[in-house]
Homo-oligomer: A and B are copies of this chain.
Amino acid sequence: MPAFPLSNLPRVATVREVGLRDGLQSLPVVLPTQTKLAWIDAAYAAGQREIEVGSFVPAALLPQLADTGDLVAHARRLPGLSVSVLVPNMKGAERALASGADLMLVPLSASHAHSLANLRKTPQEVVAMVGQMRAARDAAGSAMLIEGGVGTAFGCTLQGEVRPDEVLRLMQALLDAGADRVSLADTVGYADPASVSRLFGEARRIAGDRLCCAHFHDTRGLGLANVLAALETGVSRFDACLAGIGGCPHAPGASGNVSTEDLVFMLESMGIGTGIDMASLLALREEAGRWLPGQPLHGSVWRAGLPKTFHARPAVPA
């Protein structure tokens, strides 16, 4: 064991805001488009440079995200912002290609049971679909990136255990099918730092930097400890939701993704540059309380405030 176990961490990290997608899709409210645009602008002004603005899914299924096309149209005009959307099927992929988004995230659930319940496809069918998406992307001459997101990577509320070797196999299959990069998600909050360290360690050995992102839910309070464990394997991009919104359908009242403001606070406190200004982010978090009255908001640093000793590092584009 090295003297200082944390001495080899990344010097910069990227926090990808997914509150507009993963957060809002789980809340029983439809945020007006104007409010979402204000959120995107404020996040951008605070220094966030990667935002997942919504999903291309039928509006009847997720009315909360029905304005995704409008959000992409607005967000892609912000210089240097990577605009991503979630896409569950070919129809969505076509809309994403037409929208001008920079990245589409294609979810695959490593849990067979969860995959059938949520996507109505087997994991292998999703892999095949990613191949078709890649062909469509290339045929369109688009530069849009395709990210395969392997969900329920640490277990599943339906089937329980998900085998790490199956997760790694599906991750490789996504890359082989044409995904530009992959990410791993603890969709239901089953991960712990030891399982994160093992799975991300193995996954990075296989995929290197093409394993580009970690997506943790804070359902059982381990979100930031899991981030730390992933950081130590070299991962330097993390999904997060403003105010930790989102929840978990299987755990009423539980929080959603790790909260953006707590995550940025942790990284910046550790000297890992995010390019994000904490004061602006906390102001946005306060705004979120007004936008979502009565909805459970999470996270801690907004309440306690920044330590006297907190010095934001010079903004580093991460």
Residues of A in contact with B (beta carbons under 8 Å apart): 1-9, 155-157, 160-161, 188-190, 192-195, 197-198, 201, 205, 218-222, 224-225, 227-229, 232-234, 248, 250-255, 259, 262, 265-266, 269-271, 299-301, 303-305, 307-309
Contact = CB atoms under 8 A, between A and B. Distances in A.
Contact of A248 (B218, B269, B304): B304
A7 B194 CA distance: 8
Given A232-B6, A309-B160, A193 B266 contact: yes
A301 B189 CA distance: 10
A86 B42 CA distance: 47
A305 B251 CA distance: 8
* From A9, A218, A252, A266, residue with most partner B Cβ within 10 Å: A266
B228 A4 contact: no
A133 B53 CA distance: 62
B155 A307 contact: yes
A218 B300 contact: yes
B220 A301 contact: yes
B193 A270 contact: yes
Contacts of A221: 224, 259, 262, 265-266, 299-301
B255 A300 contact: yes
A300 B220 contact: yes
Contact of A254 (B201, B222, B303): B303
A265 B265 CA distance: 24
Contact of A194 (B189, B271, B309): B271
- Quick one: which of A198, A269, A299 has the most chain B CB within 10 A? A269
Nearest to A155: B309
A219 B304 contact: yes
A227 B225 contact: yes
Contacts of A270: 192-195
Question: Which residue among A259, A305, A308 has the maximum number of chain B CB atoms within 10 Å of its CB?
Answer: A308
Contacts of A189: 304, 307
A88 B59 CA distance: 63
30 contacts: A2-B2, A5-B5, A5-B197, A5-B229, A5-B232, A5-B233, A6-B193, A7-B197, A9-B194, A155-B307, A155-B308, A156-B308, A160-B309, A161-B308, A190-B308, A193-B228, A193-B270, A194-B271, A195-B270, A220-B265, A220-B301, A220-B304, A221-B300, A225-B225, A225-B228, A248-B304, A251-B303, A251-B305, A253-B303, A254-B300
